[in-house]
Chains A and B, each alone.
Chain A
């Protein structure tokens, strides 16, 4: 194949899509002198028509909406798994755990504080009661019934060596035997 044939045919190929084929062929001098290229040109024109028809014809169209949904589902799935593998979830899980731990410790601390405060309040109240001559067992009993802090109150009285009061209180609650056992265990 001569160089002119090669150049002409390559230019012809480009006119499959670009520019005007008619004006190109009108201006092209080479095919007038080359039978092989005229034959080539005729076949090219047939092919071009075939391709134009093929381009215009419909192809199997998918359901783009359904496809789009599947794409987003797959993206969500991949992002979730990559979050785990890249450790993005681990710090957040750790943070959650830490938060739960902090909240738990806070609750425990404040409940302890609350117990302490309650105990302190009752101690002060009992101190006040002991400081007066008007202390009555009923008052102490009521204080103990109203409180969950029997042990703390018991300790308070033991510390004050007020065993008679303790005995009185628990006797009234018919729990004295238990208290005796407990005091024995404390080696008091």
Chain B
């Protein structure tokens, strides 16, 4: 990150932060939506991500891309959210799948495949899910994915491969 950009960010320059939101709001929302499988939660988490990215900007040391830092915040919030949701039993996997089925029935015309992939993504282990979404849907490199998730480059590649294999099995199972 450029020193002047880091300075602007650390100083809380509103105009600079607006530019960051222009660039990242949509991809972060897409990532969270696919990760948690729910539009409302994804919206709340996106807001929370940017609020945290702004209010905790002094924690950013500037040794990675700002986008990496913001993706990392989003990932941690999403993980905590799912953990909280799981612990509280607010939404069991079964309920989540039912919800997706309900949504897919309601919004069938908007694309059944989108909801199928959502269902498949929710079935993946969390790290595989993150890696796959970031790599495939958000089109980040393995290098970036590994920085965001705090894993090695080879772990990113392996998780991606496992995710692809699992998805292949699910898709093949659906098509049979």
List chain A positions with a Cβ less than 8 A from chain B: 9-10, 12-14, 16-17, 40, 43-44, 46-47, 50-51, 53-55, 57-60, 62, 64, 67-68, 70-71, 74-75, 78-79, 82
Give every chain B residue within 8 A of A10 (Cβ-Cβ).
157-158, 161
Q: How far is the CB of B10 from chain A (nearest CB, A)?
A: 15
List chain B positions with a Cβ less than 8 A from chain A: 21, 25-26, 29-30, 33-34, 39, 42-43, 46-47, 50-51, 54-55, 107, 110-111, 113-114, 116-117, 135-137, 139, 157-158, 160-161, 164-165, 167-168, 171-172, 175
Besides A9-B165, A17-B136, A54-B113, 5 other A-B contacts (C-beta < 8 A): A14-B161, A16-B164, A47-B172, A67-B46, A71-B21
A42–B138 CA distance with the chains assembled, in angstroms: 25
A19–B9 CA distance with the chains assembled, in angstroms: 36
A67–B34 CA distance with the chains assembled, in angstroms: 18
Give every chain A residue within 8 A of B55 (Cβ-Cβ).
75, 78-79, 82
Residue from B30, B46, B167 in contact with A59 in the complex, judged by beta carbons closer than 8 Å:
B30
A70–B168 CA distance with the chains assembled, in angstroms: 39
Interface SS of chain B: helix
In the complex, 14 of the A-B residue pairs with CB atoms within 8 angstroms, ordered by the A residue number, are A10-B158, A10-B161, A13-B160, A16-B136, A17-B135, A17-B139, A44-B164, A58-B110, A59-B34, A60-B39, A62-B42, A67-B47, A71-B51, A75-B55
Give every chain A residue within 8 A of B46 (Cβ-Cβ).
62, 67
Q: How far is the CB of B169 from chain A (nearest CB, A)?
A: 8
Give every chain A residue within 8 A of B34 (Cβ-Cβ).
59
A13 and B25 within 8 A (CB): no
